[in-house]
């Protein structure tokens, strides 16, 4: 390793990783989503694994390693299921073309009935289309049912006929001829029964598959047990995932368009700039302390951090501290980077995800550089348990399912102090993916039966299409990984930025419970007020003028009325009615 590479390693690296002793609730839900949504598993694998030089969105509250492993396992299970279903369908085409054609038409009818196109049809057209399809299904299905009855009647005649005096001649020669004809008829009978046998086999395969899926959801992903980590398909994928597992807990987000990727949707933000000058109206004979603008930004950043920490620590009583409050660095780096960039790991070509404390200090002191530093304040959705005065438990802590993040950036440039405040909200995971929390093992049978019967025909009919698509995904993964590596080396610059957040893929677009909405408002205002008070108190303690800040806050009901939003030049979003008083 050269001196330059060693220096870069000291400045930027990857965090260490250890498998957590228990899967968090968020991790369990994301793992469960892989088995409940085939497209989710495919998307996670494509975005996290197949481009070995792409950065990953930072993980908060979940383990990306476990999620990716379960996605590979879920995709392989669906591949095996579709291969068996398609094989049964091919046997049906060979042995009973008419019955299989009716089955395919039935599947097409169900798919059409569930589609948007069917709802757009006029009523007469709908009757005509579905009437024709149902007639075809009944005719082909009726033939499939009649043929087994003929073979069954022949068998009954051979067995019961002699007892009734209507059976065949039982002499030796006649018996041989009868047995030969019956064997031929038996073969015809097996073929005649094939549609029903294949239907029963399809049902059995789907029931077995759904039962195994429910066992995974209710057993392997139940709360409180050590994690079950499925194996990976090959060593190359294992190396990439090992790097991803380390990178997910860094402090650098490499992204060109979304600086807060993985933190939720931006909901509220403002920014302002004020002149750095001594306060007016000071007492006679009092000299303003000298202003060191180079130290002003780092000092304000440290002051805001201390104010935020006081919201969760002594001397506040435990009952009034903000639960689940975390403070961490958040560094934003442009995703498009040149080959040989210090942020890129020479061995893997992937952007390093963690900056050292020395680098963080340099970024704060030099805000004009290519990295933007934020203090990220997170309030997780976990509440506090309720106890009586004598310590008896009234209600355990309850997770409301949202995380509120506030990002604070302070910089001094050109004699002006610039402060930026943005809040994002990570909304709860969609209810369909939270089945691991709601499903009871003793009720799995009813749900399995209902799900299999509702989707049996469509799963069978679409098995060939799904099989081809999954084989293309699985067999073509090496090719896509090779193509991604070649693309990163084709030009001097390349977009290494993360594209999706595994957590945000399954998040609700908004709060689904009123308490979640109330918590979003409450913690946004609490954090906003704490940051603004910290800024005003810092300026006051340094003898700097806060009149412009106080005046602009007092003139408008919102925080800062006509300030451009930092996202795309729109008007600033503000729902706060905070009033300010000058701190003396």
Instruction: Write out pLDDT tens, residues 313-342.
Output: 888 887 788 888 999 999 999 999 998 899
Is 50:480 a contact under the CB 8 Å cutoff? yes
Query: Rounded distance, CA 246 to CA 242, Å?
Result: 7
pLDDT for 73 beyond 90: yes
Query: Rounded distance, CA 488 to CA 497, Å?
Result: 12
Residue 193 belongs to some domain of the structure: no
| Average pLDDT for 563-577 | 38
Helix (H) or strand (E) holding 494: strand 493-495
Q: How many domains does the chain fold into?
A: 1
pLDDT of residue 72: 96
Quick one: what percent of the chain has pLDDT higher than 90? Answer: 39
Query: Rounded distance, CA 205 to CA 202, Å?
Result: 5
Query: Rounded distance, CA 491 to CA 410, Å?
Result: 35
**3-class state of residue 93 by DSSP:** helix
pLDDT for 569 beyond 50: no
pLDDT for 561 beyond 80: no
The model's pTM: 0.81
pLDDT of residue 199: 82
Helix (H) or strand (E) holding 269: strand 265-275
pLDDT for 355 beyond 90: yes
Residue 539 belongs to some domain of the structure: yes
pLDDT of residue 107: 73
pLDDT band at 152 (very low <50, low <70, confident <90, very high): very low
| Average pLDDT for 503-519 | 89
Is 405:531 a contact under the CB 8 Å cutoff? no
Is 245:59 a contact under the CB 8 Å cutoff? no
Residue 380 belongs to some domain of the structure: yes
For residue 433, which of 11, 4, 44 has the smallest C-alpha distance?
A: 44
pLDDT for 158 beyond 50: no
Residue 395 belongs to some domain of the structure: yes
Write the DSSP string, 433-483: G-HHHH--GGGHHHHHHHHHHHHHHHHHHTHHHHHHHHHHHHHTHHHHHHH
Residue 568 belongs to some domain of the structure: yes
Residue with tokens 């018996």: 175
Residue 576 belongs to some domain of the structure: yes
pLDDT for 49 beyond 90: yes
Residue 112 belongs to some domain of the structure: no
pLDDT of residue 164: 46
pLDDT band at 567 (very low <50, low <70, confident <90, very high): very low
Q: Which residues, listed in sequence order, are joined to residue 325 by a DSSP beta bridge?
A: 379
Residue 119 belongs to some domain of the structure: no
Q: What is the DSSP letter of 496?
A: -
Tell me the residue range of the domain where 544 lies. Answer: 274-280+287-334+370-426+513-584
| Average pLDDT for 479-483 | 90
pLDDT of residue 513: 86
Bridge pairing between strands 416-426 and 403-413? antiparallel
| Average pLDDT for 520-529 | 90
């Amino acid at each position: 390793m050269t001196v330059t590479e060693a220096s870069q390693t000291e400045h930027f690296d990857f965090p260490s990783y250890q498998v957590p002793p228990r899967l968090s609730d968020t991790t369990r839900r994301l793992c469960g989503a892989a088995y409940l949504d085939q497209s989710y598993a495919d998307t996670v694998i494509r975005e996290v694994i197949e481009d070995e030089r792409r950065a990953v969105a930072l993980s908060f509250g979940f383990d990306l390693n476990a999620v990716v492993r379960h996605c590979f396992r879920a995709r392989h299970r669906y591949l095996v299921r579709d291969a068996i279903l398609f094989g049964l369908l091919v046997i049906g085409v060979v042995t009973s073309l008419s019955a299989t054609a009716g089955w395919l038409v039935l599947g097409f009818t169900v798919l059409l009935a569930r589609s948007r196109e069917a709802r757009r049809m006029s009523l007469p057209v709908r009757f005509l289309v579905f009437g024709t399809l149902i007639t075809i299904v009944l005719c082909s299905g009726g033939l499939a049912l009649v043929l087994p009855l003929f073979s069954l009647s022949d068998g009954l005649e051979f067995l019961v006929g002699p007892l009734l005096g209507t059976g065949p001649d039982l002499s030796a020669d006649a018996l041989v001829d009868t047995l030969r004809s019956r064997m031929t008829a038996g073969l015809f009978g097996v073929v005649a029964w094939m549609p029903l046998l294949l239907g029963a086999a399809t049902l059995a395969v789907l029931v077995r598959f759904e039962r195994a899926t429910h066992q995974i959801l209710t057993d392997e992903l139940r709360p409180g047990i050590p994690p079950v980590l499925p194996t990976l398909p090959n060593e190359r994928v294992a190396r990439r995932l090992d790097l991803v597992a380390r990178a997910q807990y860094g402090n650098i987000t490499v992204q060109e368009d979304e600086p807060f990727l993985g933190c939720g949707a931006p909901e509220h933000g403002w920014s302002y700039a004020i002149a750095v000058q001594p306060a007016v109206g000071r007492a006679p004979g009092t000299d303003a302390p000298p202003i060191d603008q180079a130290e002003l930004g780092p000092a304000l950043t440290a002051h805001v951090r201390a104010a935020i920490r006081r919201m969760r620590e002594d001397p506040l009583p435990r009952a009034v501290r903000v639960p689940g409050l975390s403070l961490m660095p958040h560094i934003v780096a442009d995703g498009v980077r040149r080959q040989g960039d210090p942020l890129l790991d020479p061995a893997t070509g992937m952007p390093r995800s963690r900056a050292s404390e020395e680098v963080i200090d340099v970024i704060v002191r030099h805000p004009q550089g290519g990295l933007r530093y934020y203090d990220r304040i997170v309030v997780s959705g976990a509440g506090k348990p309720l106890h009586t005065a004598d310590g008896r438990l009234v209600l355990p802590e309850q997770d409301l399912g949202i995380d509120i993040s506030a990002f604070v950036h302070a910089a001094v440039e050109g004699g002006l102090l610039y402060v930026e405040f943005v809040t994002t909200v990570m909304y709860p995971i969609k209810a369909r993916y939270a089945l691991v929390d709601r499903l009871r093992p003793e009720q799995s049978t009813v749900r399995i039966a209902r799900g299999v019967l509702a989707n049996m025909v469509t799963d069978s009919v679409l098995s060939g299409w799904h099989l081809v698509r999954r084989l293309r995904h699985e067999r073509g993964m090496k090719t896509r990984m090779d193509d991604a590596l070649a693309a990163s080396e084709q030009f001097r610059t390349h977009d290494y930025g993360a594209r999706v957040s595994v957590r945000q893929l399954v998040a609700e677009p908004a709060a689904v419970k009123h308490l979640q909405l109330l918590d979003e408002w409450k913690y946004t205002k609490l954090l906003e007020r704490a940051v603004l008070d910290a800024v005003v108190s810092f300026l006051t303690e340094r003898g700097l003028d806060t009149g412009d800040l106080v005046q602009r806050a007092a003139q408008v009901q919102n925080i800062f009325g006509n300030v451009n939003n930092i996202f795309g030049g729109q008007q600033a979003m503000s729902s706060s009615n905070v009033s300010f008083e000058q701190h003396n």
